[in-house]
Chains A and B, each alone.
Chain A
Amino acid sequence: MYSIEVENLTKKFGHFTAVNNITFQVKKGEIFGFLGANGAGKTTAMKMMCGLLLPTSGKAKIAGFDLNAESKLIKQQIGYMSQRFSLYDDLTILENMKLFGVIYNIPRRILNDRIEEQLTELKMFEIKDLLVNEIPLGWKQRLAFATAMLHHPQIVFLDEPTSGVDPIVRREFWSLIYKAASQGITIFVTTHYMDEASYCERISIMAEGSVQLLGTPTELKQQMGVATIDDLFVKFVKR
């Protein structure tokens, strides 16, 4: 069963083709790495999949809904987190979670239970009244991830979720990603850390608006005759 089905999706801005006829599927519960150089079209493609940008042509089904006709319903079924924006710094941990819950129309009683459950899981219950700008970055990222899943989405889009944290915190974050995936949530993730690409079940590499390579990390390395994902990326982009 697929969570994401993208078919011939294209986005043009004037004469510039940002995303050029991309086609791929992502399975339910899969961790899918979406790689590419800066300016390759990743962000535009991701915005379309989140229902934030209409495609120029092509179609897609996200969480079972049609991108062109049902983008409102898609938003209810997806979570989104990026390192740059996800939480309000001047609200407390609890206020941030409540705000997101209300935005997603989660009934109050259910919301309170879920928040309590998440805060306990995150070991943040005791500090729930701290402002977000008072907590370390690694905690913020875990909180942002939990908040993005408060409405129990089918798919979570993670845009460079681990930029700027130390190697231990980065690994702790990935264990959360794996936990979510093992519960059946589909993870769609971009990263500039090539070791993280290896944690994905499949990866795609985009260049000049097209998906040029797609497969499991092992398959792609064999196909290109390289030892590491880092080499794969370098060889691919330079060719």
Chain B
Amino acid sequence: MSIIQVENLTKKFKKLTALSELNFEVQKGEIFGIIGPDGAGKSTLFNILATLTLPTSGTITVLDHDILKQYKQIRKEIGYLPGTFSLYPDLTVQENLTFFATMYGSGIKENLPMIMPIWRQISPFKNREAGKLSGGMKQKLALCCALIHRPKILLLDEPTTGVDPVSRKEFWDLLDKIREYQVTVVVSTPYMDEVGRCDRIALMQDGRFITVDTPESIIKNYKGDLYAIKTSQLFKLLDIMPQFQEKCSYYPYGEYFHISFYHDTKHAKNSFLQFLKQHEIEFEKMEHISPLLEDCFIEIIKEDRNV
């Protein structure tokens, strides 16, 4: 059952087209991830779904309500965590939570079990001003505040940007726990390693979704034959690669160098090995590997740019 339906959504700001003909649906209970660089249009999309910005054209239904005519009903049933503002820094942790609960006319007590896994971590600081919490703690409090009225849909706009890897993992563990309460989550992130935890992912560039799929099928649809080598001369290798003649795609990947061949892999691989020898690049081994999501996204973005 789809809980959000978006048809031909376009948003223009004067000359700039922020969103261009978007079409997608979000299913009840899923975690729908939107990944894309800054400026792709993620926040504009969230503002429209949260009924805070009007679309230029298109039809959008959230929980069977039309966003233009029935925005008041929608607002009662969603929780929204915007990228920038969401807490009152001069109120304490407890005061922030109470404020948000009261605003929605819901009691804290009956909904506390749902936010308990998160609240447990921040309640020791409940008398501290929200502005004095660490970045990770602020995010957790903001999540509690967005959830305290038990929304059916949770909209999270880059909840983990600028947060360190450990706090980011904790945040996603919490999202998994919230799922048990049948909350649908739409979440955006600039981090590739996070999106694998979504049920479906939309890859966004320049106001468009260039792909919408499950992590598994994105990986299954990877076209190239991918190899990884480990070399201490990574940057010498990158420097000489333009001289390599076979059709391929290559890039550094952490301590590895990834190279993907598209045609006649065996031949291309052999000429690559020869190329390495010719330029005296030493490496440990060359391994055939399955792509990770980041490999897939690199391929999809490159393809999109060439069209």
Residues of A within 8 A of B (CB): 36-39, 136-138, 160, 163-169, 171, 174-175, 178, 182, 192-195, 198-199, 217-218, 228-230, 233-234, 237-238
Contact = CB atoms under 8 A, between A and B. Distances in A.
Contacts of A160: 162
Given A168-B301, A168-B302, A217-B255, A237 B37 contact: no
A167 B166 contact: no
Contact of B192 (A167, A199, A233, A237): A167
Given A38-B134, A136-B39, A137-B37, A163 B162 contact: yes
18 contacts: A37-B136, A138-B37, A163-B190, A164-B161, A166-B36, A166-B205, A167-B294, A167-B301, A171-B251, A178-B235, A192-B165, A192-B191, A195-B253, A217-B255, A218-B255, A230-B193, A234-B165, A237-B164
B196 interface: no
A39 B135 contact: yes
Given A136-B39, A195-B254, A229-B254, A166 B238 contact: no
B12 interface: no
B298 interface: yes
Interface string B273-307: 00000000000000000000010011001100000
Nearest to A35: B164
Contacts of B52: none
Contacts, number: 85
A169 B169 contact: no
Instruction: Report whether over half of chain A's contact residues are helix, strand or loop; otherwise say mixed.
Output: helix
Nearest to A234: B166
Interface size class of B (residues with CB under 8 A): 20 to 34
Given A39-B134, A171-B251, A166 B165 contact: no
Contacts of A195: 253-254
Which of B162, B297, B302 has the most CB atoms of chain A within a 10 A radius of its CB? Answer: B162
B189 to A, nearest CB: 10
Contacts of A194: 165, 193, 254
A144 to B, nearest CB: 14
Interface of B: 36-39, 134-136, 161-167, 169, 190-193, 205, 234-235, 238, 251-255, 294, 297-298, 301-302
A238 B294 CA distance: 26
Nearest to B193: A230
A168 B295 CA distance: 10
Contacts of A234: 165-166, 169
Contact of A137 (B39, B193, B301): B39
A217 B254 CA distance: 10
A148 to B, nearest CB: 19
Nearest to A42: B164
Contacts of A171: 251-252
A230 B161 contact: no
A175 to B, nearest CB: 6
B193 A36 contact: no
Given A164-B38, A168-B251, 7 more contacts: A38-B167, A39-B134, A137-B38, A163-B38, A164-B190, A167-B301, A199-B234
A207 B235 CA distance: 30
Contacts of A167: 192, 294, 297-298, 301
